[in-house]
Amino acid sequence: IQNEFYPNNYITMHHDATYDARDRRFKIMNYDLYLKDNKRWQLDIGQRYTYNDDNLLTTQLTYKFNPKWRAVVYDRLNIDTGVWQEQQYSLVRDLHSWEVEISYNDRKGYEDSGTTVWVIFRLKAFPSVAIDGKSSYNERKVGPGGYQN
């Protein structure tokens, strides 16, 4: 089951779910809400429920201070336990043909739990080629053949 709703240029809602007919229950349910002003900020809020596993609330706030600087705050909360599983704070500087990002990340409840600070250099012409280990809110994009992450 998958639904996407665009009431205007500032709001997008997405829902997808996997239903197990044999067990008569939803195995996975995702709800995402994307709010943006198309100029300075974007707020992404999502919930992911996985049967017999976890129930996560994820948020990401991006704020553009000016054409050269933006900040990104990413958080993931386990709703069942009340534990913040991950928090990440990033500052990004546009350097015309490339970007530099400094990030602070704190993870709890994973094998690789701990605190990490790193610097990422990203070519703007090839944004998906960045070598990094960051977490971010994964906004769904429409592509050939349907929705892709």
The confidence score (pLDDT) of residue 42 equals: 96
pTM: 0.78
In one-letter notation, the amino acid at residue 112 is D
pLDDT digits (tens, 9 = 90+) for 49-87: 999 989 999 999 999 999 999 999 999 999 999 999 999
Task: Give the Cα separation of 93 and 70 in Å (integer).
Answer: 7
The confidence score (pLDDT) of residue 126 equals: 73
The confidence score (pLDDT) of residue 1 equals: 83
The confidence score (pLDDT) of residue 86 equals: 94
